[in-house]
């Protein structure tokens, strides 16, 4: 066949398939055709799997057979199911990414940037602000039941001081100060990177309030970057409590991938990625921007519950260009595992 005949075949097949939307498998992202021009991939480079997977032969025999991969027909199938952008057809309609069935949700999460702040135990709050006093609400924050208080304190370290540090309520059992690495350097305090609440062998400093001072021997940390997850969002994001994730965020020219993001899931959490001010500035992001989860490492904690995937979930993951592994953060139904194998995204046999 000549190039002109191939192009015409592509148009005819795509136009015919566009009239019967809905029967095509959800597009996946195979390897692009051999020898593409750098920077100029064809429109079908991120679309359907090979023709032998789309149309297996049903001839008799002990071993299932597949149709041969005729190059022109594979190109035509991929062109019709293109998932990387609109595929204009002669009649003016579109297929692939513009079909409603192909519009899926990525593993995106909103970013919340945390400035320096502290949580105070009731006795320390009274020492700093007066007997019988308690935090008062300035504004609610994203996490359920928590708020930025009107009250602020001054942090005093060996080499400097920082005034106007916000108290976050309600009161906690132990006082905890959360700084950025730059803040810790300004104060001259050793603030290790820790998950909130893990305060052993952490740094110390002095808190000054309008009614008194509190000297902390420990309790000063740089909070490890973490992802709060509400239980209803766990399946969509493919994570469970205690997992570690890698997230990608930032605008062009500043885009970064952040590793070792701790997942904290439970009914008291609202889904949001928390970064400190130094991390946010380095990536060029602010509160309300969006990050994408690009990888997860399952927790080894006993009793961990993994989200269950169905055939539909597998199809949505294939459309996003993701793979499914036997050792990944999901449990799959038998039908979902078969669908993953058929769509070429199953990595369980590696």
Q: What is the pLDDT of residues 197-221, one digit of tens each?
A: 889 889 999 999 999 999 999 999 9
3-state secondary structure of 125: helix
Is residue 116 within 8 Å of 178, Cβ to Cβ?
yes
Of 346, 349, 331, 118, the closest CA to residue 214 belongs to: 118
Question: Residue 62: is its pLDDT beyond 50?
Answer: no
| pLDDT bucket at 28, cuts 50 / 70 / 90 | very low
CA distance 233 to 109: 10
What is residue 80's predicted lDDT score, i.e. its pLDDT? 55
| pLDDT bucket at 65, cuts 50 / 70 / 90 | very low
| pLDDT bucket at 268, cuts 50 / 70 / 90 | confident
Domain boundaries, the chain: 3-102, 115-223, 306-350
| pLDDT bucket at 345, cuts 50 / 70 / 90 | confident
Of 194, 193, 234, 196, the closest CA to residue 109 belongs to: 234
Of 118, 82, 120, the closest CA to residue 102 belongs to: 82
What is residue 321's predicted lDDT score, i.e. its pLDDT? 67
Compute the mean pLDDT over every residue in the chain, rounded to the nearest whole number.
Answer: 77
CA distance 105 to 313: 11
* Torsional class of 193: left (φ above 0), alpha (ψ -120 to 50), beta (otherwise): beta
pTM assigned to the model: 0.58
What is residue 12's predicted lDDT score, i.e. its pLDDT? 79
What is residue 220's predicted lDDT score, i.e. its pLDDT? 96
Q: Which long-range contacts (CB under 8 A, 24 or more apart) does 50-54 make?
A: 50/74, 51/77, 53/342, 53/343, 53/344, 54/25
In tens, the pLDDT along 299-313 reads 765 555 566 777 877
Residue with tokens 């920077």: 39
| pLDDT bucket at 51, cuts 50 / 70 / 90 | very low
In tens, the pLDDT along 144-185 reads 889 999 999 999 999 999 999 999 999 989 999 999 999 999
Estimate to the nearest angstrom the gap between the alpha carbon of 194 and the chain centroid: 21
CA distance 148 to 139: 5
Of 15, 26, 8, the closest CA to residue 90 belongs to: 15
Tokens matching residue 301: 């904690």
Question: Residue 332: is its pLDDT beyond 80?
Answer: no
């Amino acid at each position: 066949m000549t190039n002109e005949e191939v192009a015409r075949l592509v148009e005819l097949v795509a136009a015919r398939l566009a009239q019967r939307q809905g029967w095509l498998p959800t597009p996946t992202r195979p390897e692009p055709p051999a020898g593409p021009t750098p920077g100029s991939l064809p429109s079908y480079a991120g679309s359907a799997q090979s023709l032998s997977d789309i149309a297996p032969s049903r001839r008799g025999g002990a071993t299932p057979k597949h149709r041969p991969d005729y190059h022109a027909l594979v190109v035509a199938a991929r062109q019709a199911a293109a998932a990387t952008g609109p595929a204009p057809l002669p009649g003016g309609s579109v297929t692939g990414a513009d079909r409603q069935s192909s519009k899926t949700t990525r593993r995106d999460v909103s970013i919340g940037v945390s400035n320096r702040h502290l949580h105070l135990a009731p006795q320390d709050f009274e020492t700093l602000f007066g007997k019988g006093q308690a935090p008062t609400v300035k504004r609610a924050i994203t996490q359920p039941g928590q708020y930025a208080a009107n009250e602020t304190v001054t942090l005093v370290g060996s080499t400097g001081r920082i005034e106007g540090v916000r108290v976050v309520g309600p009161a906690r059992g132990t006082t905890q100060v959360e700084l950025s690495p730059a803040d810790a350097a300004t104060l001259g305090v050793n603030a290790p990177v820790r998950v909130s609440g893990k305060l052993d062998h952490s740094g110390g400093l002095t808190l000054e309030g309008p009614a008194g001072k509190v000297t902390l021997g420990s309790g000063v940390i740089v909070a490890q970057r973490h992802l709060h997850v509400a239980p209803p969002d766990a399946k969509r994001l493919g994570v469970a409590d205690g997992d570690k994730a890698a997230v990608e965020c930032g605008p062009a020219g500043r885009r970064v991938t952040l590793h070792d993001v701790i997942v904290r899931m439970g009914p008291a959490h609202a889904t949001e990625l928390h970064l400190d001010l130094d991390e946010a500035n380095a990536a060029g992001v602010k509160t309300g921007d969006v990050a994408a989860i690009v990888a997860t490492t399952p927790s080894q904690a006993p009793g961990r519950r993994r989200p269950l995937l169905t055939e539909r979930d597998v199809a949505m993951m294939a459309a996003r260009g993701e793979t499914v592994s036997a050792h990944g953060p999901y449990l799959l139904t038998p039908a979902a595992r078969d669908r993953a194998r058929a769509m070429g995204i199953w990595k369980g046999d590696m």
